[in-house]
Amino acid sequence: MEFSSKLLERAVNEVSQLPGIGKRTALRLVLHLLKQPKEQTTALAEALQNMRNDVKFCKSCHNISDVDLCEICSNPNRDETLVCVVEDIRDVMAIENTSSFKGLYHVLGGKISPMDGVGPHDLNIISLVNKVKEGRIKELIFALSSTMEGDTTNFYIFKQIQDYKVFTSTIARGISVGDELEYADEITLGRSIVNRVPFESSLKI
């Protein structure tokens, strides 16, 4: 792709480094900005830089936060004996949206994935194990993706903490609400039968 302007070319190249955005999409986005008032580009550029330079991670759960201890960790109404282990902050947002969890989170920052060069020491696992060692956590809920990498990470953490007195659980796998049974894959369907729940408890939510 040949550009008539170096400034345009540099902008397109930078935007196309974002995941899932190719050169054509980048050009479309950049030309859109050119048609908008200058203030929009300034606001976008400043928002990105401020975010990148000033954003903090909660020192306890590693969630993104503007202060040292995030709103969830510093909320006295939340149950600090119940900790949900998730991959990244999008999972925190998704679970918070359900309003069904009143404990704290621990954000790992990814999954163990040798193929992508991510080992246990690249994730926030040591601080989680230390929290367990302190003995205040009663239950640890694993809420990672149901993939090989997710299962590996669950198991790695489980091995690290199995000698300490903590109950570990994992989120239920089963048929999604609204799904047709006949289209479910057999592993999910099998698990949903093995891990069936009393009918009365299913009426609560």
- Footprint of its own copies on this chain (CB under 8 A)? 1-8, 10-11, 13-15, 17-21, 25, 27-34, 38, 40-56, 58, 63-66, 70-72, 88-90, 92-93, 96-97
Q: Which of 113, 183, 182 is nearest to 145 (CA)?
A: 113
With respect to its own copies, which residue has the nearer C-beta, 42 or 146?
42
| Contact call for residues 61 and 74 (beta carbons, < 8 A) | no
Residue 76 C-beta: closest distance to its own copies, Å: 17
Residue 163 C-beta: closest distance to its own copies, Å: 33
Alpha carbon distance 70, 56 (integer Å) = 9
Alpha carbon distance 131, 98 (integer Å) = 26
With respect to its own copies, which residue has the nearer C-beta, 58 or 143?
58
With respect to its own copies, which residue has the nearer C-beta, 23 or 173?
23
Helix H or strand E encompassing 167: strand 167-170
Residue 106 C-beta: closest distance to its own copies, Å: 14
Q: Which residue has the tokens 């759960």?
A: 61
Residue 91 C-beta: closest distance to its own copies, Å: 11
In 13-102, the DSSP E strands lie at 56-57, 64-65, 79-86
With respect to its own copies, which residue has the nearer C-beta, 90 or 196?
90
